[in-house]
Amino acid sequence: MNAPTPGGWPPHGPGPQFHPPATQWPQPDPEPLPVVPVLEQPRFIAPKRPGQSPLKALGWVCIWLFFAVSGLLTILAIALETGVTGLVVGLVLATLPVAVVVSVFLWLDRHEREPWSLLLFAFGWGASVATLISLILNTASTAVLQQSGGDPNIAMFTIAPIVEESTKGLAVLGVLLLRRREFDGVVDGIVYAGMAGIGFAFVENVLYFGRTFVEAGGGGVAAVFVMRGVFSPFAHPLFTMAIGIGIGLAVSRRSTATKILAPIGGWLVAVVLHAAWNGSTLLGIQGFFGGYVFLQVPIFVAAVAIALLARRREARLISRHLHVYASSGWLTQAEAGMLSSLTARRQARDWAGRNFGPPARNAMRDFQELGSEVAFLRERMVHGTAPPDARQTELQMLEGMWLLRQSFTPPSGYEVAAIR
């Protein structure tokens, strides 16, 4: 038997006895917490997710059609330059790094998983709209420089970083406008910005790999793949992360100055880093590896450190607010501790699945997701950045957790397996 987890979860033997919440609402709300009656629900029934209104569904259809048209125009432009064979080679090679980079950003987002619809929105925007706009503007600026007798390479570290970081950053802003409730702070900004950067890098790699294959054959494309797909697959996501951090800070602070300056500062950092990286690649292979060692690696280390610190802050935030709910009867202290630890969360899901089956495991997962969401909502309530209906939403989340608990709470006298 393993030692108890940090949150004191899973329980040994019969599960804890849960009681209706007390009449004290967690501070700073002055109103008393209403008593929730014992609800009779069939066991192992997953909670129903609220459906979309027809208008919202139509809006999403329009968004995906817009992405599809933008993506097709981008692919057509690439195919005209690389040919069908080059396009296919580029698509195959560009796909290889995507799964690795995406998994890293999803790993950061373990306290509260972002909706797949919004993750795909950010990726799709980066892969279609951002690339199409950037392709048009970068091509036009290069042509203008050539016609005026200037060096077209200047556009790589002057115009391209501004255009590309602006268009990628719009994906994060779009998520914020589409679903403000899902955007809780810095970690969410990092994840959505990363997804937009991954989508952009994917399509850009299709162009570079396909073009190199046509011009230099297999040996040439292999070298480019090593440089872009092995050494620098995180370049675009890392640059755009600065914008995500800025927007994340803006949504989690009341200060008007922060709301204005943080996104602008993040955009400036992204543009400068992108320009420095592009400038290093103009110096040949030595410039590339110099930029990689002295720019790319430090940026990566700094970005990982910032992301981990932001995630640790989330854990402290969850612990602080959920223990307030535990003191008022909505949660047990064991549950509050479990929800504050990623390790205890995983063990709790395993415990529920091992004892009561996959539906109970899914209910435990949803219970944990709601626990994070209600903690983040309370943080926004404390800082005065929550929407007007936050109190009602908070109560709905707590009631949802109350119902979900029935799917993995063992009945009285039911023996459950110990932790393994």
The verdict on 203 and 82 lying in the same domain is yes
Give the per-residue pLDDT at 371: 93
The verdict on 141 and 255 lying in the same domain is yes
Which pLDDT band, with edges at 50, 70 and 90, does 199 fall under?
very high
Give the per-residue pLDDT at 152: 80
The verdict on 350 and 258 lying in the same domain is no
d(CA 16, CA 335): 10
In the predicted structure, residue 175 carries a pLDDT above the cut 50:
yes
Angstrom distances, CA of residue 79 to CA of 2, 143, 197, 207, 211 = 57, 20, 22, 8, 9
The verdict on 107 and 242 lying in the same domain is yes
User: Whole-angstrom distance between the N-terminal and C-terminal Cα of the chain?
Assistant: 6
Domain hosting 352: range is: 316-405
Identify which has the larger pLDDT, 409 or 148: 148
Last residue of a domain, one of 282, 306, 329: 282
Give the per-residue pLDDT at 130: 97
Torsion angle of alpha carbons 33, 39, 42, 46, nearest 10°?
-20
Which pLDDT band, with edges at 50, 70 and 90, does 415 fall under?
very low
Evaluate whether residue 193 is within a structural domain.
yes
Question: By mean pLDDT, which of 37-51, 119-133, 192-206 is the weakest?
Answer: 37-51
Give the per-residue pLDDT at 225: 96
The verdict on 328 and 234 lying in the same domain is no
The verdict on 273 and 323 lying in the same domain is no
Would you tell me how many other CB atoms lie within 10 Å of the CB of residue 382?
14
Please confirm whether the linkage preceding 10 is cis (ω < 30° from 0): yes
Rank 143-152, 183-192, 198-207, 384-393 by mean pLDDT and report only the highest: 198-207
| 36 within 8 A of 21, measured Cβ to Cβ | yes
The verdict on 272 and 344 lying in the same domain is no
At 17-75, the pLDDT tens digits run 444 444 343 444 434 444 433 333 333 333 444 456 788 888 899 999 999 999 999 99
Q: How many domains does the chain have?
A: 2
Angstrom distances, CA of residue 386 to CA of 89, 192, 202, 273, 277 = 48, 20, 36, 33, 39
Identify which has the larger pLDDT, 11 or 96: 96
In the predicted structure, residue 387 carries a pLDDT above the cut 80:
yes
In the predicted structure, residue 289 carries a pLDDT above the cut 70:
yes
High-pLDDT (> 70) share of the chain, %: 85
In the predicted structure, residue 419 carries a pLDDT above the cut 60:
no
Evaluate whether residue 271 is within a structural domain.
yes
Which pLDDT band, with edges at 50, 70 and 90, does 384 fall under?
confident
Last residue of a domain, one of 256, 282, 308: 282
Evaluate whether residue 62 is within a structural domain.
yes
In the predicted structure, residue 191 carries a pLDDT above the cut 90:
yes
Mean pLDDT, all residues of the chain: 84
At 231-251, the pLDDT tens digits run 999 999 999 999 999 999 999
Secondary structure of the chain: what % helix, strand, coil (to 5)? 75, 0, 25
| 153 within 8 A of 345, measured Cβ to Cβ | no
Residue with tokens 């060692």: 293
CB contact set of 229 (below 8 Å; sequence gap of 6+): 93, 94, 96, 97, 205
d(CA 366, CA 357): 15
Evaluate whether residue 71 is within a structural domain.
yes
Evaluate whether residue 48 is within a structural domain.
no
Residue 98: HSE in the Cβ half-sphere, 13 Å Cα cutoff: 21
Please confirm whether the linkage preceding 30 is cis (ω < 30° from 0): no
Evaluate whether residue 230 is within a structural domain.
yes
At 128-172, the pLDDT tens digits run 999 999 999 999 998 998 888 878 888 888 899 999 999 999 999
The verdict on 271 and 325 lying in the same domain is no
Evaluate whether residue 181 is within a structural domain.
yes
The verdict on 278 and 320 lying in the same domain is no
> How many helices and strands (H and E) does the chain possess?
15, 0
| 339 within 8 A of 371, measured Cβ to Cβ | yes
In the predicted structure, residue 12 carries a pLDDT above the cut 60:
no
Give the per-residue pLDDT at 20: 40
pTM, to two decimals: 0.81
